[in-house]
Every structure is written in structure tokens, then in C-alpha cells.
Structure 1
Amino acid sequence: MRPKPPPDYLAGYPAALVAQVTDLIASAQLGPALRRKYPRAHEVRTDKALYDHVLELKNTCLRNAPPLSKVAYDSKLKVIAQALGTHTAISRVQGGKLKAKREIRVATVFRDMPPEFLQMIVVHELAHLKVRDHDKAFYQLCQHMAPAYHQWEFDTRAYLAYLAAGGTPLWSAASDPPPA
């Protein structure tokens, strides 16, 4: 009997694909396959580095989008919001004007993942600056910013299912081999 991955991570994918991921987890082959495909963790470890990374991508792909006031890793995000990243707009009255501050928070689980997985969540949250809903226009914008967005999202979800099934983390700054 194959273990079931948490439905949240692979919901919406075809049953055959979910079964394939579940079989790879059960046979202990998913971890090594992901590690071969994504050999290194990214180097964006601090909130400042994350802010710089997000701002660079925003300035490259979404120059006319509203400015960001804060970008940070958030250790409570997954527990509280059941999300991997959030984009919020906080409105405040300043004098006679209404000012909106936009923030992006990324779950700390992304601190020890490959650069492609971090890029996927950053692109996702940046796309919310322009498109609020998860509709066709939203995913087209994600794919415009990162052509491999859909593959990275699936691989990230497969990895999270692997972790939820008791798998050990595959990446960390300390475990990565030195650059060649």
C-alpha cells in the first residue's frame, strides 16, 4: 500500500502523476532524483539578500509594479497562513492620504532549497503585484518571468510532499559541495 502525500501539495494534479510521485517517495527514489536535478541550494540566506533578490527580479520584469516596502523570510508563515509565501498590502492613513505598503513574505523552508524553488515562490508572489487572482493571466505572467515556472512549482510540491512523508531535507548551505 502506497503512502498518501498531503493533499494540499499535489491537489489539482492528475491522479496518475500523484501516484507516480507517491511511488517514488515510497521507494526512496524521489529525494535522489530531485538532488540530481537540482544539485545545489541557493545562497540567499538573509532577509536583506532576499529583499535584494526580489527587487532585482521586480525591476527586471515588473518595472511599473508598485514598490515593495518589505521582503522577508517568515518562520510562522506555513503554520499560520497555510501558505508558502504571501503578498500583502497594508493601508495606512498618513495625513489626508491613504498609503499602501506592500510586503512579500516567504516561508523559511525556502531558505534551504535550490535557486529554482526560491525563484518559483518569488515569481509567484511578484505576480500578485499585478494580478490578484490565480487565473490564466496570473500564470501567464509567472511563465513570462520564469519560463520553467510550472515545472519548478511541481518539483517544489513534490519535494514538500516528500518532506511531509518523513523525508530528510535534501539541501542546506552546509551540505552543498563547494563550487566547481
Structure 2
Amino acid sequence: MSKLSSATGIDASIQKYIGSYPATVVGQVRSLVANDKLTDFLLQRHPVPHTIYNDHELREYAIGLKNQHIKKSSPLSKVIYDSKIHVVHNALGLHSYVSRKQGSKLKAKNELRVSAVFKQSSEALLNMIVVHELAHLKEKEHNKAFYRLCLHMLPDYHQLEFEMRLMLIQLEQGGSIYD
């Protein structure tokens, strides 16, 4: 890859994941990437990958968080890692709500799907994704109430969301930080 196309790829990744952040922040991240220091920064913040490897463990983890923070919300029928979720389309996880009529009863299912790219992340970043999807049990839209609930469950939610975006840039530019 030529230097020009490499720089264009870096800029595209940065624009896609943090383009709406202040120019000073974008410049700092661009410098980290250009100087091959993004991995070092992320490893300082997230030195150890989580150990939640399969769907069963992810389900137990998500239900534990749900029971700790939003007990009275609807139950989860399914929690899985999903390799079909494409982070480029701004989906890192999905929460789906399906209701169907069965006889005279209305049945509802809540499913939580986490992008498989988070199988190789720190627990803090996985936690942020799960908290985000759990918040959708109570708030369907990304509004003020939604983000208040995220902050209630995870006080450093916004910082972790930013670091998750940096991890996605790293994945596009050079692979997992834990290789």
C-alpha cells in the first residue's frame, strides 16, 4: 500500500469513528496512529483481554449486569456474540424486541447481540457495549434518558465509548491490541 493510500485509509477510519469529536482530539488520535502509538495507548488503558469467550458466559455476564442495575426490566431471552454484526454500519451490538401473539397472550422476546469483534477486547470495553444494549431494555432511542441510564450503570461510560472507538480504529489499521 502506498503512503498516500495508507494515509487515506487512516483518515477514513478516524473520520468514521471519531469524526464528530473536537479537532484537537482527532489530531491527537491521528498523531497516535501516524506514530504507531495507538496500540501502546490502548494497552496502557486496557492491558488484559476479558475471559468471556462463549455465548453462555456472555449471557451470564449480561444477566448479572441487568440484575445489578435494572432488575425490573424485561427478561432477556437470548444473549450472543454475533459475527454478522458489521461495525462499519455503526452497530457494535444489537438489542431486538420481538412481540408476537400466541393464543390470547402477547409474548415478547428481548435479544442482546454483541459484535464478535469484542471477543478480543478488555472487560471494560465489553462492559460498555453490554451496558449500552441493556439500556435499550428501558429506553429504545439514544436520548438523554438513555445516556443517563448508561451513566447510572457505568459512570465512565463516555470515556469507555471513546476508547472503544479507538480500538475499532486500531482493528482497521493493524489488528487486535492483544496479538
TM-score (norm 2): 0.90
Give the alignment partner of residue 177 of structure 2, picking from 170, 174, 179. 170
Offset, 1:137: 1.2
- Which has the higher mean CA deviation after the structures are superposed, 82-91 or 9-18? 9-18
Q: Is the 8 A contact 2:55 2:80 kept in 1?
A: yes
Match status 1:39 vs 2:35: no
- Which has the higher mean CA deviation after the structures are superposed, 138-147 or 9-18? 9-18
Question: Aligned partners of 1:53, 1:12: CA distance in 2, in Å?
Answer: 31
Which residue does the alignment assign to 2:131? 123
Match status 1:132 vs 2:169: no
Question: Aligned partners of 2:42, 2:104: CA distance in 1, in Å?
Answer: 53
Which residue does the alignment assign to 1:178? none
Question: Aligned partners of 2:58, 2:146: CA distance in 1, in Å?
Answer: 22
Question: Aligned partners of 1:30, 1:38: CA distance in 2, in Å?
Answer: 12
Unaligned runs of 5+ in 1: 176-180
Question: Aligned partners of 1:155, 1:79: CA distance in 2, in Å?
Answer: 15
Give the AA of the match of 2:123: P
Q: Is the 8 A contact 1:65 1:130 kept in 2?
A: yes
Query: Secondary structure at the residue paired with 1:16?
Result: helix
Match status 1:111 vs 2:124: no
Give the alignment partner of residue 36 of structure 2, picking from 21, 28, 39. 28
Count of paired positions: 171
- The percentage of counterpart residues that share the same residue type is 45
- Which has the higher mean CA deviation after the structures are superposed, 107-116 or 7-16? 7-16
Query: 1:10-29 alignment to 2 at 5 Å?
Result: 10-29=18-37
Give the AA of the match of 1:40: V
Offset, 1:8: 2.8
Unaligned runs of 5+ in 2: none
RMSD: 1.7
Q: Larger RCO: Structure 1 or Structure 2 (Cα < 8 Å, ≥ 6 residues apart)?
A: 1
Match status 1:93 vs 2:101: yes
Deviation readout 1:49-93 (Å, 9 max, x if unpaired)? 000000000000001100000000000111695411000011122
Question: Aligned partners of 1:63, 1:32: CA distance in 2, in Å?
Answer: 38
Query: Secondary structure at the residue paired with 2:11?
Result: coil
Match status 1:58 vs 2:66: yes
More helix per residue = 2
Give the AA of the match of 1:94: Q
Give the AA of the match of 2:161: E
Query: Secondary structure at the residue paired with 1:64?
Result: coil
Question: Aligned partners of 2:90, 2:105: CA distance in 1, in Å?
Answer: 33
Give the AA of the match of 2:74: P
Offset, 1:5: 4.0
